[in-house]
């Protein structure tokens, strides 16, 4: 198993055009058939685990280890795909 740990990068270290939020939405749409509720989430300063748990709650999706694993496996896939198509740049001073 490969573990990827990223922290507070979009808008702090790099600009990705919101790739993380887009990947998050894509996973919930394709894996959990959840297409709404993103407008209620505040991504800034939050952990991905906390965001996923909150979104699971909005859609009555069980916050089981299996569902978290399912989310994060697909999240890495979509994040990689979206970043390849995004214009990214380092923030000034980095």
Q: What is the pLDDT of residues 5-60, one digit of tens each?
A: 666 555 677 788 888 889 999 999 999 999 887 778 887 778 889 999 999 999 99
Residue 62's pLDDT is what? 97
Residue 56's pLDDT is what? 95
Task: Specify if 4 maps to a domain.
Answer: no
Distance of alpha carbon 83 from alpha carbon 30, whole angstroms: 18
Indicate the number of domains in the chain. 1
Task: Specify if 72 maps to a domain.
Answer: yes
Answer with the residue of higher pLDDT: 3 or 74: 74
> Domain containing 67: what range?
14-89
Task: Specify if 5 maps to a domain.
Answer: no
Structure tokens at 28: 């919930």
Secondary structure of residue 89 in the 3-state scheme:
strand
Task: Specify if 78 maps to a domain.
Answer: yes
Task: Specify if 19 maps to a domain.
Answer: yes
Residue 52's pLDDT is what? 94
Whether 94 shows a pLDDT value over 80: the answer reads no
CB-based contact 23:1 (threshold 8 Å): no
Task: Specify if 31 maps to a domain.
Answer: yes
CB-based contact 37:59 (threshold 8 Å): yes
Task: Specify if 26 maps to a domain.
Answer: yes
Residue 53's pLDDT is what? 95
Q: Where are the alpha helices (DSSP H) in the chain?
A: 19-32, 48-58, 65-85
């Amino acid at each position: 198993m490969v573990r990827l740990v990223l922290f507070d990068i979009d808008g702090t270290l790099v600009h990705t055009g919101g790739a993380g939020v887009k990947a998050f939405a894509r996973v919930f749409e394709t894996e959990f058939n959840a297409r709404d509720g993103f407008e209620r989430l505040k991504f800034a300063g939050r952990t991905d685990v906390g965001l996923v748990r909150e979104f699971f709650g909005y859609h009555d999706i069980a916050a089981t280890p299996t569902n978290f694993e399912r989310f994060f496996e697909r999240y890495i896939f979509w994040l990689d795909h979206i970043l390849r198509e995004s214009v990214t740049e380092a923030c000034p001073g980095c």
